[in-house]
Amino acid sequence: MKRVAVVGATGAVGTELRCVLAQREFPAESYRLFASARSAGRRIDWVDGPLTVAELGPHSFDDVDLAFFSAGASISREYAPLAREAGAIVIDNSSAFRMDRDVPLVIPEINAKAVRSHNGILAVPNCSTIIMAVVLWPLHRVHPIRRVVVCTYQAISGAGARALAELESQTADVLAGRPPTPHVLPVPCAFNVFSHNTPIGEDGYNVEESKMIAETRKIFGDDTLRIAPTCMRVPVRRVHTEALSIEFETPITEQDAREILGTAPGLEILDDRAANRFPTPLAAEGRDEVYVGRIRCDPTIPDGRGLQLICAGDQLRKGAALNAVQIAELLSPGSAASERKRGPT
């Protein structure tokens, strides 16, 4: 029954989205792939044979039931309302609508029920937010969290397919003794680390950091949650690593944390101290789960209320494409979503 459109089909997230849809055998009746004029005309191998990428236009959604958007916020702002008017449900990977009151911001492991009350657009949170939130939520449910200090080690893929290509070519340049010349990212990324390439607000926090704060609060339904982020990029392809220092309202033991995280959905503990095996980008690349490890009590917080850990999740997968497809899977035939689609009869 579902005629599915993928907007931004040739980008980093769009490419992963096609991969996840195929792997999970998403029950689509048909697919249409859209991209910018630059990519239009490209032939892409698909489940039932090759598909031609079309240029996105105002009438792209005339025969679409479900549209995945991952072409940036400005494209979403322009075309998602058109898709909705044409009768499609939009699952948006951009930041365009995330903080809108009537747009559910959904991580299925956390707030699946939120999909019930959408107005035609549902938003996928920021990748860094998702990877942190799936770890924090199961802890927060049992031991309310007071404050989190988070430092990210973010992959280059978050800046898109062209940035990923720049990482490779620039790294080759440096190895060959040529100076690194940035074109896509603002500073050289090869063998470098840099503050996240989003604008800085008056409070000194960049947009990525502000997203982690505001989105986590919205998803958790808790406006008092205190999050102090530092978002940095590292020369890694597609997995975000994050170091979390968590202060709880009440004491928590290391064993508590291991039991909670060990049974939480979407997580896998990788925490072998003897072998020094912990979450890394290489371990998490291409995986659905977010890896968690280095779990330890933080003695600098009184009364046993502190915990530190690291986590690593595939930014393109759970951080974007997989989470989007999981949302689509929640919108089953009997859901409020499809009710809305059919409208009053």
Give the residues lining the site for a second copy (CB under 8 A).
147, 149, 151, 153, 167-168, 171-172, 175, 180, 186-188, 191-195, 197, 199-200, 203-205, 226-228, 230, 232, 234-237, 241, 243, 245, 254, 273-274, 276, 278, 280-282, 293-301, 306, 308, 310, 312
- Whether 121 and 84 have beta carbons less than 8 Å apart is answered as yes
Secondary structure (DSSP) of 35-58: E-TTTTT-EE--TTS-EEPEEP-T
The one catalytic residue in 127, 189, 231, 297 is: 127
SS3 182: coil
CB of 52 to a second copy, least distance (A): 29
- Residue 251 and residue 307: Cα distance in Å, rounded? 10
Q: Which is nearer to a second copy, 3 or 147 (CB)?
A: 147
Q: Is 151 a catalytic residue?
A: no
- Residue 123 and residue 92: Cα distance in Å, rounded? 5
- Whether 264 and 289 have beta carbons less than 8 Å apart is answered as no
Q: Which is nearer to a second copy, 282 or 336 (CB)?
A: 282
Q: Is 240 a catalytic residue?
A: yes
CB of 217 to a second copy, least distance (A): 12
Task: Name residues whose C-beta falls within 8 Å of residue 192's C-beta, 6 or more positions apart in sequence.
Answer: 180, 235
Q: To 5 degrees, how large is the angle CA 314–CA 319–CA 323?
A: 120
CB of 149 to a second copy, least distance (A): 5
CB contact burial 277-299 (16+ within 10 A = b; e otherwise):
ebbbbebbbebbbbbbbebebee
Nearest to 121 by CA among 146, 136, 102: 102
Amino acid in the structure at residue 281 = P
Tell me the helix, strand and coil percentages in the chain, rounded to 5: 35, 25, 40
| Greatest extent of the chain over all pairs of C-alpha atoms, in Å | 69
State the virtual CA torsion across 69, 211, 108, 72 in degrees, nearest 10: 10
- Residue 92 and residue 202: Cα distance in Å, rounded? 28
Residues designated catalytic: 127, 240
